[in-house]
Structure 1
C-alpha cells in the first residue's frame, strides 16, 4: 500500500507523517531491490559449485557456504520488503470483506500486538548472541569455510530493525487512513 494525500496539497503542505512514511518505504525499497539481486547471484554461484564438482572434481566449502550466506541475507533483509509489498501470509477470508477502516484497525493492532513485539524480542534477544560471535571472530567450523559467521549472525538484529521500521511505516500508514490523512489501500495510486 502506498501513501497519497487525500487532497491535492503541494508536498510541502502535506502532513509530515506522510513524508516520514515515504522515507521508511524508500529505505525498505532500496534494501529489498538490492537484496533481490542476491537471488540471481545465488543461482550463478550454485551452478559454478555444481559445475566445478561434477566436471572437474573440485569442491569449495567457501563457495558453498557463500550460497548459504546469500540465502540468509535474501530472507532476513527481504522480510521488511515483503511486509511493504503486503506479501506475508494472511487469512484473507475475513480481511477482504472488511471495510477499509476495519482493515486499517486490524493492521494497526497487528503491528502493535504482533509484529513490533516479536521484532523487539528477536532484536533484543539476539544482541548477546551476535556480540559474542563478534568478540570471538566466529568463523566456519569447516576447514576452508568463510571466516565471517559473525556477519551472518548480525543479520538477526538487522532484520529485526528493518522489519520494525517497516512495521512503523505500516502502522503510521494505517493511522493516517483512520485519520483521513491518506486514502485506504487501493483507493488512490501512489504519489
Structure 2
C-alpha cells in the first residue's frame, strides 16, 4: 500500500519540478509581451494565449502536488482544535465523502466537452491564437486524476496509520 502511495507522491513531485518552470516562462513571456507592445508596437495573440495556456497548465497540473504538501485550502473550524486521531478521522471522511466524489463528478461532467474538443480538434480562442483548445480542456480531467490519485495516496497512508510523506 505504501509503495503505491510513494509512487503517486513521486509522480506529483516530479510533475511539480517541471511545472515550476512554467511560472518563470509566464513571467518572461509576459515581460516580452509588454516590451513588444509598448516599446516596439508589436502584438501577437498567439504569444498572449501562450501565457494563458501556461497558467492553466501550471495551476491545474500542480493541484496534486499542492494536496501532497498540504498547502490546499482547508476549512479548519474544528480541525485546528481537535486531537491527532480526530484529525485523522476528519481527513479520511473529507477524502472519501467530499474530495474523491467531487473529482469524480467534475471529471464525469467535463468529459463530454473534452471528448468533443478532441473530436473536432477545437481551434483557437481568438483569431490568430493557439490552435489547441482541446489541450487546454484536457487539463480538467488531468487535474481530476492527479487530485484523486494524491487523495488515494493520502488515504492509504492514513489507513496505514502513517502521517504525510
TM-score bracket for the superposition, by shorter chain length: over 0.9
Query: 2:140 matched to which residue of 1?
Result: 156
Out of 111, 114, 118, the residue aligned to residue 130 of structure 1 is 114
**Matched pairs, number:** 165
Out of 37, 42, 45, the residue aligned to residue 29 of structure 2 is 45
Gaps of 5+ in 2: none
Q: 2 CA distance for matches of 1:55 and 1:45?
A: 15
Out of 122, 134, 139, the residue aligned to residue 123 of structure 2 is 139
- TM-score, normalising length: structure 1: 0.82
- The two structures, once aligned, show a CA RMSD in angstroms of 1.3
Rg (Cα) greater in structure: 1
CA-CA distance at 1:26 after TM superposition: 0.6
Q: 1 CA distance for matches of 2:146 and 2:55?
A: 17
CA-CA distance at 1:141 after TM superposition: 3.7
Secondary structure of 2:56 counterpart: helix
Out of 11, 17, 34, the residue aligned to residue 27 of structure 1 is 11
Gaps of 5+ in 1: 1-16
Q: Runs ≥4 in structure 1, deviation > 2 angstroms?
A: 91-94
